[in-house]
Amino acid sequence: MKKYLVEFIGTFFLVLTVGMTVIDPGAGNLAPLAIGSALMIMVFAGGHISGGHYNPAVTIAVWLRGRCAAGDVPFYLIAQFIGGAAAAFLTLALKDHPTVTAMTPNVGHALIAEFVGTFALTYVVLNVATAKGTSGNSFYGLAIGFTVMTMAFALGGISGGAFNPAVALGITVMGLAKAANIWIYLVGNFAAAIVSALTFKFINPEDK
């Protein structure tokens, strides 16, 4: 139960940071730095309890890699999605329910951007937080947070830079993304999780 609560808390603060820094008045061009930092500190805060996923795509990748029990997967996903939705509603309340214009991305470009960004994130997570070669390191939170920051700076203008189905739900609730486009994030993010897990296992066949 504790690890599911940790996943809720971490996802909640990540999505809250997204909303508060992206919706005006926000952090402007510095929003990706704040978002990556939020993920970093939450990974350091809860990684020793739950693994610090805070992202359904990460949970799927870690499960396929063999480092998350199948019985935990649905509860992780539920906690993450509830955390994302709760943060979105709180953001809207704190921002006094602003009028938000949803982005209208090029579907093909956005799908590719979400796949690439999520692949980068999940691949880094698998290598710094689950691999035998990096076991016991102290930098994994920084590496994970900086991956999100880097991908958000690089690809955020194309897709919104969710790289996380729970964040996708949050930005949809907040009106930053259209409900009709949430499939872009779900398909791109979960496909990237699967491919990154397979890639990790191919490169590291001995790392069971």
- Note whether residue 136 is domain-resident: yes
- CATH number assigned to the domain comprising residue 54: 1.20.1080.10
**This prediction's pTM:** 0.97
Query: What backbone torsions phi and psi does residue 177 show, to the nearest 5 degrees?
Result: -130, 150
pLDDT of residue 208: 82
Domain-located, residue 208: no
φ, ψ dihedrals at 19, nearest 5°: -65, -45
- Structural contact between residues 75 and 4, judged by C-beta atoms closer than 8 angstroms: yes
**What pLDDT sits at residue 84?**
98
Q: In residues, how long is the chain?
A: 208
DSSP, collapsed to helix, strand or coil, labels residue 177 as strand
Under 8 Å between Cβ of 79 and 5: yes
Q: What is the rounded CA–CA span in Å between residue 22 and residue 32?
A: 9
Residue numbers of the domain that contains 162: 2-203
Total tally of structural domains belonging to the chain: 1
pLDDT of residue 186: 98
Enumerate residue ranges in the chain where pLDDT < 70.
none
Asked whether residue 20 is domain-assigned, the answer is: yes
Q: What is the mean pLDDT of the chain?
A: 97
Burial 101-138 (b: 16+ CB within 10 A, else e): ebeebeeeebbbbbbbbbbbbbbbbbbbbbbeeeeeee
Q: Is the dihedral of CA 44, 50, 208, 166 positive or negative?
A: negative
Per-residue pLDDT tens over the stretch 80-130: 999 999 999 999 999 999 999 999 999 999 999 999 999 999 999 999 999
